[in-house]
Amino acid sequence: MTAGFDEYIAALPGDQQVVLATVRRVVHQAVPLAQERMSYQMPGFWQGDMLLWFAATRRHLGVYPTAAGVLAFADRLVGYDTSKGAIRIPWVQPIPYELIAEIAAFRLRQVEAKQQAAGDGMLAGPSATVVRESGRLVIDGGIVVTDDTIYALLDGGRR
């Protein structure tokens, strides 16, 4: 458990504390080796890369699984307010804990696929430079991994 997570959740109203503690639990169940990290002043989960963040606002629970996480589940997110990398779930709606867990597991598979595509199961060595340019990762100025490659690894090329 991470002190930053605990403090963040403890500062919320009681009903929101229950929701965020449950999100924390179901994400841990979906990606048990992921590390808790506070980033952008929000709790998040990291395993080779940030998998997702989540946060409480006055009106909704925000889940931030990157643009790929939102895009991959777009058909199941109908009815929620979404944007490029955000899912906003109003407090008055049931919280889709199972879906949040599935998104976390998807993000882990995506990160692992990027690492595998980069070779040796590592996205980059400790001294490597990774730059995102126009929908692709460029590692040490030479190895290029495109989003199409990542999608092909994840789902056999189907989009």
- Residue 100 inside a domain? The answer is yes
Q: Does residue 26 sit within a domain?
A: yes
Is residue 18 scored above 80 in pLDDT? Answer: yes
Q: In the structure, what pLDDT confidence band is assigned to residue 76 with cuts at 50, 70 and 90? A: very high
In this prediction the pTM is 0.73
Task: Give the Å distances, CA to CA, from 119 to 71, 145, 150, 153.
Answer: 26, 10, 13, 13
Cβ-count burial of 156 within 10 angstroms (0-12 exposed, 13-18 middle, 19+ buried)?
A: exposed
Summarize the confidence of residues 34-44 as an average pLDDT: 94
Kindly state whether residue 145 falls inside one of the protein's structural domains.
no
Task: Classify residue 120: in a domain, yes or no.
Answer: no
The rounded distance, in Å, linking the Cα atoms of 118 and 99 is 29
Asked whether residue 147 is domain-assigned, the answer is no
CA angle, 147 as apex, 46 and 122 as ends, to 5°?
Answer: 45
In a domain, 55, yes or no: yes
What span, in angstroms and rounded, lies between the C-alpha atoms of 27 and 4? 17
Question: What secondary structure does DSSP assign to 101-115, as a single string?
Answer: HHHHHHHHHHHHHHH
d(CA 85, CA 67): 4
**How large is the average pLDDT for residues 45-59?**
96
pLDDT reported for residue 107: 96
Q: Render pLDDT for 79-122 as a digit per residue (tens, 0 to 9).
A: 999 999 999 999 999 999 999 999 999 999 999 998 888 875 44
Do the domain assignments include residue 118?
no
Query: What's 77's domain CATH number?
Result: 3.90.1150.200
**Spatial distance between the Cα atoms of 102 and 82, rounded to a whole number of angstroms:** 17
Under DSSP, the state recorded for 7 is H
Cβ neighbour number for residue 85 with a 10 Å cutoff: 16
Is residue 74 classed as helix, strand or coil in its secondary structure? helix
Contact 44, 38 (CB under 8 A): yes
**pLDDT confidence of residue 115:** 86
Model confidence pLDDT, tens digit, residues 56-67: 999 999 999 999
**pLDDT of 48:** 92
Of the candidate ranges 34-38, 93-97, 134-138, the one whose mean pLDDT is the lowest: 134-138
Indicate the number of domains in the chain.
1
How confident is the model at residue 116, as a pLDDT? 85
Task: Give the residue with greater pLDDT, 111 vs 132.
Answer: 111
Q: Which domain holds residue 98?
A: 3-111
